[in-house]
Structure 1
Amino acid sequence: MRVGLIVDSACDLPYEFARKHDIFILPVTAVIDGETYIDEHDPVRTQEFYQSGLLKKGRHAETQAYTTEQIYDLFMKEIVPRFDIAICETVARSRSLIYQNATEAMNRVMASYQEARAVSGREGKFSMRVIDSKQIFAGQGLLAAHTLRLAEQRLSKNALRNEVEAFSDRIYTCVIPRDLHYIRERARRRGDKSVSGMAAFLGKALNITPVIFGQGAGGAPVARTRRFEAAAEQVMDYAAARVEAGLLTPYVSLSCGMSWTEIEDLPGLNRLRNACERNGVELLLSQMGITSSIYVGPGSLCLALAAEPHSFSDHQ
């Protein structure tokens, strides 16, 4: 019985990791200055976006979920003929229509998959589940990696779903936005007032960079620094300390909306790498995808790990 994992383009994972494990990417449409692009997590295309400056501030950029019809067509063409059980983990439903549209598409698939299975020569029934990851970006990537580990245990489909949903609540995420004004404008267009005008003004006037920390897609500022590099080092030190203390899954997921040269120069990254190596933890380091970068702003950083309840300051 073959189990397939589907994630959307808001999920940040290293390209080689996703390819090795045959993870299917559900695309997201990006609209930048009126031009439409399809984000399929192609590493070459993503690098071109960073080099071309298409993701820089000053451009009007939005993301759009694939429609129910588009997702249905993809599921019928790419998923039904290849897998017996499919799990689709979407970005937090509070942040996007992807979960809603994927669920509607799944319901249509379950009512009409038999012919597609017969044509492909794949025998037996097909089962599918759409799960709200409750995560964003690197958090989604962490949940996907853990789901693959659970799938290796050959759990029943219901047990697998329950384990994934329960584990999602154990994931902690740190986000460092490069530009609070960018986030505020994006949030304003969505009707999200979580980033106030005063916070954005202070961030611009005083060069304050916050660390936003919490479980899942929620979070609150837990540290404020005058430089992005100082905030990044705090997050690396936090993650290294949690690795030493013990994680609930042997992964740390880190995505960065910058060039690979800038990523490798991040302060504290090598200390985190060393801590992971000492403790048998895989660092899932990736360049932030187009969808993620549009959402939180170019130059930003997102880190996720799963651990027992704690606060960001516990490592200090």
Structure 2
Amino acid sequence: MRIGIVVDSACDLPVGYLQRNNLVLLPITVRIGDTILPDNRDEEATLAFIKGPLSDQGAEAETTPYSSEQIRDLFLHRLVTDFDQVFCMTITRTRSPLHDNAVQASYAILSEYKPIRQAAGYNSPFSLRVIDTQNLFAAQAVSAVEAVRLRDSGATVPQMRERLELVAANVHGYMITRDLYYMRARARHKGDRSVGLFSAALGSALDIKPVLHGYRGNTEPVAKIKGFDNAVQSLFGFVGKRVAAGLMTPVVCVSYGGPLEELRTLPGYRELRDTCDQHGVTLMEALMSLTGMVNVGKGAVTIGFADGPHVFSA
């Protein structure tokens, strides 16, 4: 059976990994003023954005995911003949309409695919499963990596479906942003009051960095640490402890809103990489998507892994 895996632009995986494993991308469009930037996970274009003048206007960006009609067209024009089963793995539905768009599109796809497949010489049925990864960015990538592992190991479709739902419900994502003022401006532009002016001003004045935790569709601060370097070092140290204790899947995904060379010099990162190596866990690095960067700002770190319930400790 030919199994396809579909992700969206916000899923922070390296471009080479996407290409080698034949993952299909649902691009997200970023609009800043009169400039439209399709987020196709083009790393050169993303790095150019970071260095260019438009990055200063990122807080005012509008992001537009694929509509249900665009998803329907992609499947009917291509995927229903390229694959027999597709797992469409979306950014958490609490932060984007993409999941609901994909679910809506699935009804039309499953009712219209038969003549298209038959014309291409396929008489077997086509199946589609839309999965809410319940997370963002690097954490979203954990479920996609598990889908690839399961597919390549020869797991059946029911086995994949059950396992992926379980993993998605147990992925923990953490994020530390450099600029609270940016986060506040972005939140205000989107009508999200989760980052208040007072807390942003106070945090920036004192150089306090909140550690944000994403889990089962919810995002909340779990710690406040003075200094960006101290915060990321504490986060990497905590993740290393979870790796040593044993994860649900053998991967930690990390993304950075800038050149990966900068990520590798952050305090605690080398130690985390060594811990992952010692425990047979892949540490997968990716440049943060353009979509992610306009939402959380340049220089942010996100990290994700599948694990049981736990409490963050600095």
The two structures have a TM-score, normalised by structure 1, of 0.93
Within 5 A, what are the aligned runs for 1:1-316? 1-57=1-57, 60-313=60-313
Kept after mapping to 1: 8 A contact 2:4/2:86: yes
In structure 2, relative to structure 1, the CA distance for the partners of 1:90 and 1:100 (3 Å cut) is: same
| 8 Å Cα contact 2:94/2:218 also seen in 1 | no
Rounded Cα–Cα distance in structure 1 between residues aligned with 2:73 and 2:215: 33
The answer on whether the counterparts of 1:33 and 1:61 sit within 8 Å (CA) in structure 2 is yes
**Superposed CA RMSD:** 1.8
After superposition, the C-alpha distances for 1:285-306 in whole angstroms (9 at most, x for unaligned) are: 1110101111222211100111
Segment of structure 1 superposing worse, 273-282 or 260-269: 260-269
Q: Decide whether the 8 Å contact of 1:33 with 1:59 is kept in 2.
A: no
Distance 1:204 1:59 in 2: 17
After superposition, the C-alpha distances for 1:125-166 in whole angstroms (9 at most, x for unaligned) are 111111111111111101111122233454443442232112
Give deviations 1:49-84, integer Å, cap 9, x for gaps: 223243335662121112221111112223112100
Shift of 1:283: 0.7
Whether the aligned pair in 1 keeps the contact of 2:135 and 2:214 (CA below 8 Å) is no
Q: Deviations over 1:167-213 (max 9, x none)?
A: 21211111102222222222223332222222111122222211112
Q: Greater CA deviation, 74-83 or 55-64?
A: 55-64
After the TM superposition, which of the residue ranges 189-198 and 20-29 deviates more from structure 2?
189-198
Counterparts of 1:5 and 1:211 in 2: how far apart (Å)?
31
1:26 Cα deviation from its structure 2 partner:
0.5
After TM superposition, the structure 1 stretch with the greater mean CA deviation from structure 2, 152-161 or 249-258, is 152-161
**Which amino acid in the other structure matches residue 64 of structure 1?**
T
Q: 1:296 to 1:59 in 2, by over 3 A?
A: closer
Counterpart of 1:81 in 2: which secondary structure? helix
* Alpha-carbon distance in 2 for matches of 1:51, 1:117: 46
- Could you tell me which runs of 5 or more consecutive residues in structure 1 were left unpaired when the two chains were aligned: none
Whole-angstrom distance in 1 between the partners of 2:6 and 2:47: 23
Provide the C-alpha distance between the structure 2 equivalents of 1:42 and 1:150, rounded to a whole number of angstroms.
27
Whether the aligned pair in 2 keeps the contact of 1:29 and 1:63 (CA below 8 Å) is: yes
For 1:123 and 1:46, locate their aligned partners in 2 and report how far apart those are by CA, in whole Å: 42
Give the stretch that moved more between structures: 257-266 or 167-176.
257-266
Runs of 5+ in structure 2 lacking a partner?
none
Asked if the contact 1:68/1:105 (under 8 Å) is kept, the reply is yes
Aligned pairs, how many?
A: 314
Instruction: Please tell me whether the aligned partners of residues 180 and 203 of structure 1 are also in contact (alpha carbons under 8 angstroms).
Output: yes
CA distance in 2, matches of 1:14, 1:86: 21
Q: Is the 8 A contact 2:3 2:83 kept in 1?
A: yes
1:229-266 Cα deviation digits (max 9, x unpaired): 11111111111111111111000010011122322221
Give the alignment's TM-score, normalised by structure 2: 0.94
Secondary structure of residue in 2 paired with 1:76: helix
How far apart are the structure 1 equivalents of 2:191 and 2:6?
Answer: 29
Alpha-carbon displacement from aligned partner over 1:59-113 (angstroms, at most 9, x marks no partner):
6212111222111111222311210000101111111110111112221111111
User: What residue identity is the alignment partner of 1:5?
Assistant: I
